[in-house]
Structures are given as C-alpha cells and as structure tokens.
Structure 1
Amino acid sequence: MTKETDTLQLPLALGHDPAADREHLLVSASIAPAVDLVDRWPEWRAPVTVLSGPAGSGKSHLSAIWKGMSEAHDVTDNLRAGRPIPYRQGAFLFEDADRAEFDQTALFHLINTVRQNSGSLLITARSAPGLWDITLADLRSRLQAATLVEIGAPDDALLQQVIVKLFSDRQLEVDQRVVTYLVSRMERSLDAACRIVDQIDRLALARGRRITRALAAEVLTARENAV
C-alpha cells in the first residue's frame, strides 16, 4: 500500500495468531482433492505424491498440516544444498520443487528409499513434474509414477471463508458486504487475501476508523497503483 501521510498514527506491528491446524482448515471445491490427500495419509495410493498449485493456493498450509500429522522430515534444504539426508525411514517433505535447483540424484535416491522402506514423500510445486527441468532420466521416470494432486485457483467460496477467518483471527467482525466486495475485485490468491486483510486492518487502526467498503476500496486501489 502506498505510504500514508505523516499525520497518521501508525499502529504497532502486533503479531496475530491465525488458526492453522486441520480443525480450522477451510475447504471448498478448489482445494478439496488436496485436503482429501492429507486426510487419507498414510493410506496413499503411491508412496510419493506431488501437490501442485499456483502461488497462494494453500500448498504451504496443507503441507504444514501433513508434516505435523506424519512427523515428516523436511529435506528441502538438504536437496537444495546437496547435503546427505540422514534418515532412512518415515515421512519426508520437499517443498517448492520447481522454484530452485536441487540435487536430482539425491531426490532419486530418496524416492527409492521411501519406496523400499514403506515411507511417504510429499513434494509441493507450482507445476506438474512434467514441466520441471529434470535432466536425470531415472528421476523423471520416478516422478511420472508419483501421484499428482492439483489445487485450482481459489474460488469465491474459499476466498470469502479465508477473508472472514483472517479478520476473525484479528478479533475483527466485518460486514459481509465488505467481504463480498473484496472477493469480487481482488487477486485470486490466498496470499493476496492475507496481505489485503493486513493492510485494511493497519489502515483502519491508523485512522481510528471502522472497516468499511470505502476503506477496502482504498486499499485495493493503492495495491493496483503500486503494481
């Protein structure tokens, strides 16, 4: 959001405690297959699953829930840095596989380890494995055999639930007309929803005003102008 005038009393950057466990997970048609994937563990169809979806679609939330359920070892940094993975059994998590280079041989061996020891590996990415820059043929073959679960862009129902929840996490009640207005005009992203709610909350606090559609419109306009 653009900088406010110097006469405003800016609020402190107080922390908020959003409910991010499975009980508070919001579900709609766009994310239902991925939620079902988490709920079915450890009864997965295949030991390796790729969860793909656009930025802000909920992959990180779901992988965090699954990591807590499965007590998975997060091997993302190991694969990025080419460091050995000191575990042979259990569940493993590799996030944002298509966002940066990783040790392809190490991932190939990890997949073999998971398959041989009845483990589980969850890989998150923005795209399907067929679109990744995989040069190791054996790894490409292993990834083709993985289960692919795709998350669509958030639909209106999910965005409305998320925005209400984000305001509720801040102990704020907002008129449903404001929520509907935001959903009809905002970027289709859960990350965007988080940023917009934060900006609206801060601006309302700075001005000592309640949250209205006019204030929400001001935030959306400022975001558009900042692009």
Structure 2
Amino acid sequence: MSDLVPQLPLALRAPPDQRLSRYVDAPAGLPDALRALAAGASTGGVYLHGAHATGKTHLLLATCAEAEDAGLRAAYLALRGLRGRVRDAADGLDAADLLALDDVDAIAGSREDEIALFDLHNRLRDAGRGLLYAAADAPDALGLVLPDLRSRLAQCARWALPVLGDAGRAELLRQRAAARGLDFDDAALEWLLRRASRDLGSLTAIFERLDRASLAAQRRLTVPFLRQVLEADQA
C-alpha cells in the first residue's frame, strides 16, 4: 500500500473509544447490521450517510475493529484528499475481508475516481467480501457522474445517522469518562455542554484535553477545574 495516502492498513488498530458499543443513539437495527458485516455474515454492503460529526468515521473504524477481533482482515480508507488517485490508493485493498470507505462524497464528479471505486466494489462483492461506505448524503444526492456506481451504492443497505442532541452529547461524554475512570461531576458536564461547540469533533477534543489535565493534576472534573483548564487554554 502507498505511504502517501491516508489509510489504515490491514490489521489496523482503532482507538479504544471507537467501538460499536460506544456509539450513542444508533438507529434501531444498525449495530446488529454492522456486527453481521464485521463477522462476515453479510456481504451485501452497508452505506451510512449523515451530516458532519454524526459519527460516520467512528462507526467505520468500530466495525473494522469488530472484524479484526473476529480474526478477519479489515481495511479503512478515507477518500477525502484522494481525488484523482483512488485507483492507486486502492492497490492491495482487495485482500481485505472487510473494506470501509469513508468520505465517498469527496470524489463525486471525478469520473476516473468513480470508475476506480466501481471496479473495486465489483471485485470485492464478487469475492464475497464486506463493504462499508460513509458519505454526507445518500447515493442519489452525491452528484455522481457514473450511473453504474450510483446504482451499486444504492443497492447497499442504507442508514441515515442522526445529529446528536444535548442528551446524546451528555451521554457520549459520560461514557468516555466512565471508560477512563473519571469522575465527571453532573454540574460540570452541564456547564461544559452549555459552552462547548455542538460539533462532536470539537467536543471530544475538549474532553481529551480535560482528561489529560485531570490526570496530571489528580483532580475531579468539576466546574472550577473545567473553568481553570479552559480559561488557561484561551489565555
């Protein structure tokens, strides 16, 4: 595989927070569908779509981790930044039992890349391998110029991912804190959610900063401590 493309190779290791059990407010039936795909029990393909920060990458990496835990070979490839280079980036990925392809919308409109993705899809499907896609929109709304690729993606089981509300964001942080043995005071959690960006990427980045600070200072996550850490960051 090329060292120039943003991909995780076969036998990848996803971060411990990125597991199917850690995904909050999943649509009914989706975790089971992804576990079946990860176990090699489903080869029809799964297509996830949703707005930014709805957890698409989380689910792709989590499904790959499940496949690896089952002794299968999994590969993840983010297509963002690969416009014009998909065929080269896909070299070697045929060996995967499960292939997760992120940011499909990033190559929409590039006929050469769409043909490369169409060919890759057909090779893995014909070999009985698992395929998992993620994009911002459903296949018909991506602006694909290759009808055959649009048809292939539309044949996958499709799931729309919701944007988390405040309750879901709170649950996400509670889960992460509990998994790391952190005592996250309820008042501190409410204080943080009122002030933090609704973007999950930004929110989890803040949590990671607080986790490191809490460990270093041996302090609980309370409102005074959060205020101290975050105000220091802004100074």
Q: Which residue of 2 aligns with 1:38?
A: 34
1:165-176 aligned within 5 A: 165-168=175-178, 171-176=181-186
Question: So what's the TM-score if we normalise by structure 2?
Answer: 0.68
In structure 2, do the counterparts of structure 1 residues 85 and 214 end up closer, same or farther at CA, with 3 Å as the change threshold? same
Q: CA deviation at 1:125?
A: 1.6
Partner Cα distance (1:49, 1:146) in 2: 5
Is the 1:28–1:157 contact (alpha carbons within 8 Å) kept by the matching residues of 2? no
Partner Cα distance (2:52, 2:150) in 1: 23
Is the 2:18–2:62 contact (alpha carbons within 8 Å) kept by the matching residues of 1? yes
Is the 2:19–2:65 contact (alpha carbons within 8 Å) kept by the matching residues of 1? no
Is the 2:50–2:137 contact (alpha carbons within 8 Å) kept by the matching residues of 1? yes
Q: Which residue of 2 aligns with 1:72?
A: 74
- Write the deviation string for residues 136-168 of structure 1: whole angstroms up to 9, x where unpaired: 121122222222112101233432232123334
Q: Which residue of 2 aligns with 1:8?
A: none
Is the 1:91–1:119 contact (alpha carbons within 8 Å) kept by the matching residues of 2? yes
Q: CA deviation at 1:202?
A: 6.0
Is the 2:34–2:63 contact (alpha carbons within 8 Å) kept by the matching residues of 1? yes
Partner Cα distance (1:204, 1:72) in 2: 35
Q: Does 1:99 align with 2:106?
A: yes
Q: Which residue of 2 aligns with 1:193?
A: 203
Is the 2:182–2:221 contact (alpha carbons within 8 Å) kept by the matching residues of 1? no
In structure 2, do the counterparts of structure 1 residues 165 and 116 end up closer, same or farther at CA, with 3 Å as the change threshold? same
Question: So what's the TM-score if we normalise by structure 1?
Answer: 0.70
Partner Cα distance (2:103, 2:227) in 1: 33
In structure 2, do the counterparts of structure 1 residues 57 and 222 end up closer, same or farther at CA, with 3 Å as the change threshold? farther
Is the 1:178–1:212 contact (alpha carbons within 8 Å) kept by the matching residues of 2? yes
Structure 2: which amino acid aligns with 1:73? A
Q: CA deviation at 1:121?
A: 0.8
Q: CA deviation at 1:104?
A: 0.5
Equivalent residue for 1:178, pick from 181, 188, 193:
188
Look up the SS of the partner of 1:183 in the other structure: helix
In structure 2, do the counterparts of structure 1 residues 187 and 75 end up closer, same or farther at CA, with 3 Å as the change threshold? closer
Q: Which residue of 2 aligns with 1:150?
A: 160
List runs of 5+ in structure 2 lacking aligned partners: 1-14, 68-72
Greater RCO, CA 8 A, separation 6+:
1
Partner Cα distance (2:175, 2:143) in 1: 37
Larger Rg: 1
Partner Cα distance (1:196, 1:104) in 2: 37
Q: Which residue of 2 aligns with 1:85?
A: 91
Aligned length: 206
Look up the SS of the partner of 2:151 in the other structure: helix
In structure 2, do the counterparts of structure 1 residues 19 and 32 end up closer, same or farther at CA, with 3 Å as the change threshold? farther
In structure 2, do the counterparts of structure 1 residues 163 and 112 end up closer, same or farther at CA, with 3 Å as the change threshold? same
Is the 2:49–2:135 contact (alpha carbons within 8 Å) kept by the matching residues of 1? yes
Partner Cα distance (2:127, 2:217) in 1: 58
Q: CA deviation at 1:182?
A: 2.8
Q: Does 1:52 align with 2:49?
A: yes
Q: Which residue of 2 aligns with 1:114?
A: 124
Structure 2: which amino acid aligns with 1:85? D
Look up the SS of the partner of 2:91 in the other structure: coil
Look up the SS of the partner of 2:105 in the other structure: coil
Higher mean displacement: 105-114 or 175-184: 175-184
